[in-house]
């Protein structure tokens, strides 16, 4: 039997460039009619291509889907960082809170877990931050709620004007919470992540890229990043 073109060929490595990131993609030719993309939990990217597909066709396909690839890789990376952690101090009795390492014994009451502490901190901090940012933007959400989410820092339902905020944000510098609040409020003005959305976000939160860079790190990494740095945000909202 004659072997089909591409059949039996070892997977080839390609690279996608988008939004300042270079993402490796492993491509395998198979007996399939269409191209398929898959981003695994470890953020590795795989593509299956028809046996007859040329290298140019593969590159063209990956280029067209570069935005999708990078977006889902970042979601996988974020989900990995946000896996449930043990409700124990990180080291030497210290835990990350508002971008700083604090003594767990001083801030966690008896029988209160770390995640419960983060929720309590957000319940105290969110109303003040939301009130200030809504007043600045001239827009109002009908309902705010707190969630422990695995792959998102916040989410918004524009039609209902409801916004959900991840309690894990209490581990990060206040700048990050402010950015996520602003990000979700901008979605009430522009549901898509298009040029208008990013222009509005830049207007109301000029430091959004700095906050996003911090949120790509774990809470402990964020503490190390921001130690001694001048962050354009308020002090810990305690």
Sign of CA dihedral 82, 88, 93, 98: positive
Amino acid 225: pLDDT:
78
CA 141 – CA 160 distance, rounded (Å): 9
Query: How many angstroms separate the CA atoms of 136 and 189, rounded?
Result: 14
Expressed in angstroms, the distance from the first to the final Cα of the chain is 73
Q: What residues contact 116, with CB distance under 8 A and at least 6 apart?
A: none
Degrees, nearest 5: CA angle 125-131-136: 130
Whether residue 188 contacts residue 161, with contact meaning beta carbons closer than 8 Å, is answered with yes
pLDDT tens sequence for the chain (238 residues): 444 445 556 788 999 998 888 999 999 999 999 999 999 888 899 999 999 999 999 999 999 999 999 988 887 777 666 554 444 445 567 889 999 998 888 888 765 788 889 999 999 999 999 999 999 999 999 999 999 888 889 999 999 999 999 999 999 999 999 999 999 999 999 999 899 999 999 999 999 999 999 998 888 888 887 664 444 444 445 4
Q: Could you give the CA distance from residue 123 to residue 117 in angstroms, rounded to a whole number? A: 10
Stated pTM of the model: 0.65
Q: Which residues pair with 162 in a beta bridge?
A: 143, 157
| Sheet-wide strand order for 36-39 | 12-18, 21-30, 45-50, 36-39
Q: Is the dihedral of CA 83, 89, 94, 98 positive or negative?
A: positive
Tokens coding 164: 């959900």
φ, ψ for residue 158 (rounded to 5)? -55, -40
Q: Hey, what domains does the chain have and what are their CATH numbers?
A: 12-80 (no CATH), 86-226 (3.30.2010.10)
């Amino acid at each position: 039997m004659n072997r089909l073109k591409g059949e039996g060929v070892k997977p080839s490595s390609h690279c996608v460039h988008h939004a300042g990131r270079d993402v490796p993609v492993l491509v395998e030719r198979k007996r399939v009619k269409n191209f398929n993309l898959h981003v695994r939990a470890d953020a590795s990217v795989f593509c299956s291509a028809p046996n007859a597909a040329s290298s140019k066709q593969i590159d063209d396909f990956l280029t067209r889907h570069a935005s999708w690839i990078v977006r889902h890789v970042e979601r996988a990376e974020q989900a990995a960082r946000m896996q449930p952690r043990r409700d124990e101090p990180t080291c030497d009795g210290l835990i990350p809170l508002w971008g700083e390492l604090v003594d767990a014994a001083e801030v966690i009451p008896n029988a209160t877990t770390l995640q419960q502490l983060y929720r309590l901190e957000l319940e105290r901090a969110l109303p003040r931050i939301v009130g200030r940012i809504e007043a600045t933007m001239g827009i109002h959400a009908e309902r705010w709620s707190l969630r422990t989410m695995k792959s998102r820092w916040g989410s918004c339902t524009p039609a209902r004007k409801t916004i959900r905020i991840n309690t894990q944000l209490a581990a990060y510098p206040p700048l990050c919470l402010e950015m996520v609040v602003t990000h979700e409020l901008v979605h009430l003005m522009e549901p898509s992540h298009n040029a208008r959305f990013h222009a509005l976000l830049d207007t109301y939160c000029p430091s959004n890229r700095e906050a996003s860079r911090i949120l790509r790190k774990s809470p402990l990494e964020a503490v190390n990043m921001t130690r001694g740095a001048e962050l354009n945000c308020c002090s810990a909202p305690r």
